[in-house]
Structure 1
Amino acid sequence: MVLGGVVPDTPLANVAVIVVATAFVWVGSGWLESAAENLSRHYGLPAVVQGSLVVAVGSSFPELASVVFTALAGVFDMGVGAIVGSAIFNVLVIPALAGIMTDDAVEANRTLVYKEAQFYMIAVSALLITFALAVIYFPTEGESLRGTITRPLALIPVLLYGLYVFIQWQDVSDYESDDVGTVDVRREWLKLLGGLAVILVAVEQLVGAVESLTGTFGIPVFLAGAVVVAAATSLPDTLISVRAARTGKSVTSLGNVLGSNTFDLLVAVPVGVLIAGSVAVDFAVAAPMMGVLTVATILLFTVLRTDLSMSSAESYVLLAAYAVFVAWVGAEAAGLTSVLRGG
């Protein structure tokens, strides 16, 4: 129930709640990301740990919260849709905005294009395999392409993320911090906890409002998650990456996108399962969307591999690709196309 029933359950009121909740997600994520960075420097954590753990959790916490709340509300498909849709948004829209809002081309490097790309594609495959195993070993009675993700299955992607962190850690095993800075630790911890609280409340209201709209207009919850919830929860990643690109840190900008996506796929979705105990998954919907994510990822890395940079023209190509995706989702919701056999 949105705002405890204080706000009337009408489409206009729900849209207003979505807008306000999105703004609070932005504010809370800013507090969380800033505090996480300052605390990481204070405790002398390596940059890779800051990026793959601390900052990734900070910028991806809205997606994590959306999965948890949708799992507890019994609309886990919306949470998975939000994660997959957010990942598509991240690989198409965020790099495009970074390229458009900077004067120079967005530069990449071989480590980013090859090492990070390879592990990210493994992450996509691992989540898809987890969905498939749920359908094979824990099928829903009477449904050929629906199954249940259990806690043991959810541990598969989580363990893979542990391997990702271990590999990153090994690359900087001889790291020694020489810049702890001056940080008010108590204030930063309070800011971090405050950011978490704001995001939790905002995402809960966001999910409730979107769920209400899906019931009013008959929109499949997976598709609503893939566009509305995904775009709202991706705002922190957008802010961080565009800001990094504008200050000349294009590799950091792109690295945040890939690191956040890896965290979302391997940690956010499984955490929802671990908290709820078990959740149902519709493979007929999830598999095509994961296919779209794969195509979007291939497009991004094709663009980045050309001269290891992304021009303004290529940025607009990525934006156009996302526009096609949104148009297709709209067509699916309206029943004009039927690629998704479920939802």
Structure 2
Amino acid sequence: MSYLLLLIGFALLIKGADFFVDGASKIAGNLKVSPLLIGLTIVAFGTSSPEATVSVLAALEGNAGVALGNVIGSNIFNITLVIGVTALIAPLAVENETVRKEIPFTLLAGVALLILMSDTALQALSENVITRSDGFVFLLFFTVFLYYIFEVARRNRAAQTNDQSAPAAPWTKNILLTVGGLAAIIFGGDLVVDSATEIALTFGMSETLVGLTIVAIGTSLPELITSITAAIKKETDIAIGNIVGSNIFNIFFVLGAASVISPLAVESKIFMDISLMIILTVILLVFSRTNFRIGRREGAVLAAAYIIYLIYIILRN
């Protein structure tokens, strides 16, 4: 039964992503904003909903390790394997604004997280904790990011108001496609995580190892499938916007909301993972500045980096 549910889950993910990207790209046309902005907002926030659900529930249950590890693991997965595999399928063109503002904002998110959780080193406290006040700082950063996005969207829309080259697609159909596709992605991802976890446990894998691998990857499957689908459909703006927006959303909103609900105690070994996440974001920025595209060579490097990281966490734990 678990194998059947696994196949159904993957089918829902793939078809849901197909509908989701189609609907989101047509909504972008109707709103007269760039697909990149839709990727940074609607697509990014939608595909990050599994991370938000897992981390907020974990915070409510007092499980800080799951809440924090889920976000960090998902961000590393997004930067390396998702962008890497997507670039291998179709090289990703990166807009100038993304290189100058959005990716640096992702880097800011990682550095802010590292600083706010380093209580032992910076404040000589006995333990490292992401407090409620830290959570409000994250949410404030998230508000600034949303303001920036809305301002860009307003300018972008104003520049396209005179462009009547394409007729508006039907709103109701595209909203239903987007919402229905997102629901299929979330439900399919949940089926894949649950069934794969059950299968892995029957093979003798520990729950900790399952959590670090299958569950972490499972909550990022929406980003992976959506970005690959976007690349196949030549909507590379949606693909790159999805990842950049998701990583910002994960730190500033998901961790912000989770730590406001319940302060998150930080394990010492997670500092290595956060440092790696920051380094990988810098590498992504460097790759993006190379002719403003992430080619197949860069994609192969990023994908290989995740395989190395996966081996590292398996050996570490």
TM-score (norm 2): 0.77
Question: In terms of mean alpha carbon deviation, does 81-90 or 302-311 score higher?
Answer: 302-311
Paired letter, 2:302: L
Q: Decide whether aligned partners of structure 1 residues 84 and 17 sit closer, same or farther in structure 2, where only a CA change above 3 A counts.
A: farther
* Inter-partner Cα distance in structure 2 for 1:68 and 1:138: 28
Instruction: Percent identity, please.
Output: 21
1:117 deviates by 2.3
1:324 deviates by 0.5
Q: Which residue of 1 aligns with 2:39?
A: 51
Q: Decide whether aligned partners of structure 1 residues 246 and 32 sit closer, same or farther in structure 2, where only a CA change above 3 A counts.
A: closer
Paired letter, 2:131: I
* Inter-partner Cα distance in structure 2 for 1:110 and 1:52: 15
SS in 1 for 2:291: helix
SS in 1 for 2:154: coil
Q: Which residue of 2 aligns with 1:338?
A: none
User: Any gaps of 5 or more consecutive residues in structure 2?
Assistant: none
Q: 1:78 aligns with which of 66, 72, 77?
A: 66
Q: Are 2:183 and 1:183 aligned?
A: no
Question: Is the Cα–Cα contact under 8 Å of residues 93 and 322 in structure 1 kept in the other structure?
Answer: yes
* Inter-partner Cα distance in structure 2 for 1:25 and 1:69: 23
1:329 deviates by 0.6
Q: Which residue of 2 aligns with 1:326?
A: 310
SS in 1 for 2:170: coil
Q: Which residue of 2 aligns with 1:89?
A: 77
Equivalent positions of 1:238-253 (< 5 A) are 238-253=224-239
Question: Is the Cα–Cα contact under 8 Å of residues 193 and 214 in structure 2 kept in the other structure?
Answer: no
Equivalent positions of 1:102-117 (< 5 A) are 102=90, 105-117=91-103
Q: RMSD value over aligned CA atoms?
A: 3.8
Q: Deviations over 1:217-245 (max 9, x none)?
A: 5554xx65443222112222222322333
1:331 deviates by 0.5
Q: Which residue of 1 aligns with 2:131?
A: 149
Q: Are 2:208 and 1:227 aligned?
A: no
Question: Is the Cα–Cα contact under 8 Å of residues 94 and 293 in structure 2 kept in the other structure?
Answer: yes
Question: Is the Cα–Cα contact under 8 Å of residues 17 and 229 in structure 2 kept in the other structure?
Answer: no
1:55 deviates by 1.8
Question: Is the Cα–Cα contact under 8 Å of residues 240 and 253 in structure 1 kept in the other structure?
Answer: yes
SS in 2 for 1:233: helix
Question: Is the Cα–Cα contact under 8 Å of residues 62 and 200 in structure 1 kept in the other structure?
Answer: yes
User: Any gaps of 5 or more consecutive residues in structure 1?
Assistant: 1-6, 8-12, 334-343
Question: In terms of mean alpha carbon deviation, does 45-54 or 156-165 score higher?
Answer: 45-54
Paired letter, 1:110: N
Q: How many residues align?
A: 307
Q: Deviations over 1:63-118 (max 9, x none)?
A: 2122123223333322321211111111111222122223xx43334332232221
Q: Deviations over 1:135-162 (max 9, x none)?
A: 97897xxxx4343532x32121111121
* Inter-partner Cα distance in structure 2 for 1:134 and 1:208: 37
Q: Decide whether aligned partners of structure 1 residues 34 and 99 sit closer, same or farther in structure 2, where only a CA change above 3 A counts.
A: closer
Question: Is the Cα–Cα contact under 8 Å of residues 21 and 206 in structure 1 kept in the other structure?
Answer: yes
Q: Which residue of 2 aligns with 1:339?
A: none
1:208 deviates by 7.1
1:332 deviates by 0.9
SS in 1 for 2:264: strand
Q: 1:271 aligns with which of 257, 270, 274?
A: 257
* Inter-partner Cα distance in structure 2 for 1:260 and 1:160: 14
Paired letter, 2:170: V
Q: Which residue of 2 aligns with 1:67?
A: 55
